[in-house]
A = this chain, B = another copy of it.
């Protein structure tokens, strides 16, 4: 059986680690909370496994360790922030705080953010908004990264451009967190490490042929991920990836046009208050009805009932809050040298 860890223990020890590495206490706390929330939701690929990379960013001086994102532009419904290479978790949580404060007066707030460090699991942030009865959209792109080919093309041009959407309902909140590409860098890496093939031909190799071989991604010149929906529906994944580019780098006003090394990640956060439209109760009734209506659809596979996005994550969250977090076996061993270096005790598993 996998060891389980109390999520509060994981937050505490990771906070101490980040603090000793140089992050301000409140920043260290926020980064740790979001990483552990990703674990609670079952997004192990976007949780504590980032700790070594984040420590490296702090140690190298690339990641800012103190301060706030700077407000570059401010109108009632729109904010432009410079993340100043602060940890992305801190930046988004601060943006969320800012936007929530203004939401009641304005109904809708959009925040474009330039130059952030990694933000890990997008679902964690929109979940926080949904818990307050607010609909949220969060998206990010990495102008320095090119992994996905445009529809009909064979070379990488943009990042996997994920979108997360949090939707309150009168039951379980709907939590969407999905890339606009057929697969992700992380899935390709993992498949390569295991020596297997992708489930479908989600890649195009550098000769222009569809491929399920992860090695096709690492050639010179490189292959590329195809947009979500490829082959026949790839124009749709491409369309949503373009939306992300416009919302992130377009609104931030800095991105691929400015050269690769210029920027970190750009982000776009939008909050929508149902109270400013038909009301929160009516919103929850409609979204809750729709969710139930979908869940109650006869499934293709009798053993696989229709789920709404977020159903599984919320169930993981609730279960792991009680029974402890089941970490992927790779995570603690990878973190161990950093705990030792900064003289922080490793978390101890819950007695089973």
Contact = CB atoms under 8 A, between A and B. Distances in A.
Count of this chain's copies in the oligomeric assembly: 2
A30 B155 CA distance: 43
Contacts of A76: 76-77, 105-107
A151 B72 CA distance: 41
Q: Please tell me the size bucket of the interface on A.
A: 35 or more
Interface in A80-110: 80, 105-110
Q: Tell me what chain A mostly uses at the interface: helix, strand, loop, or mixed.
A: mixed
Interface in A101-123: 105-110, 112, 114
Given A107-B110, A228-B229, A289 B256 contact: yes
B237 A254 contact: no
A77 B251 CA distance: 18
A78 B297 contact: no
A175 to B, nearest CB: 10
A279 interface: yes
Contact of A256 (B233, B237, B253, B286): B286
Contacts of A150: 294, 297, 306
Contacts of A232: 199-200
A176 interface: yes
A274 B289 contact: no
Interface in A140-173: 149-155, 157-158, 165, 167
Contacts of A107: 75-78, 110
Interface in A161-196: 165, 167, 174, 176, 178, 180, 182
Contacts of A80: 276-278
A131 to B, nearest CB: 16
Interface string A225-248: 000110011011111101101110
B75 A106 contact: yes
A301 interface: yes
A239 B294 CA distance: 12
Given A199-B232, A229-B228, A294-B150, A300 B208 contact: yes
A298 interface: yes
Contacts of A243: 137, 165, 167, 176
A79 to B, nearest CB: 8
A249 to B, nearest CB: 5
Interface of A: 72-73, 75-78, 80, 105-110, 112, 114, 135, 137, 149-155, 157-158, 165, 167, 174, 176, 178, 180, 182, 199-200, 204, 208, 228-229, 232-233, 235-240, 242-243, 245-247, 249-257, 270, 272-274, 276-279, 282-283, 285-290, 293-294, 297-301, 304-309
Instruction: Rank and list the top 4 A-B pairs by shortest CB-CB distance, nearest first.
Output: A253-B278, A78-B107, A253-B282, A153-B297
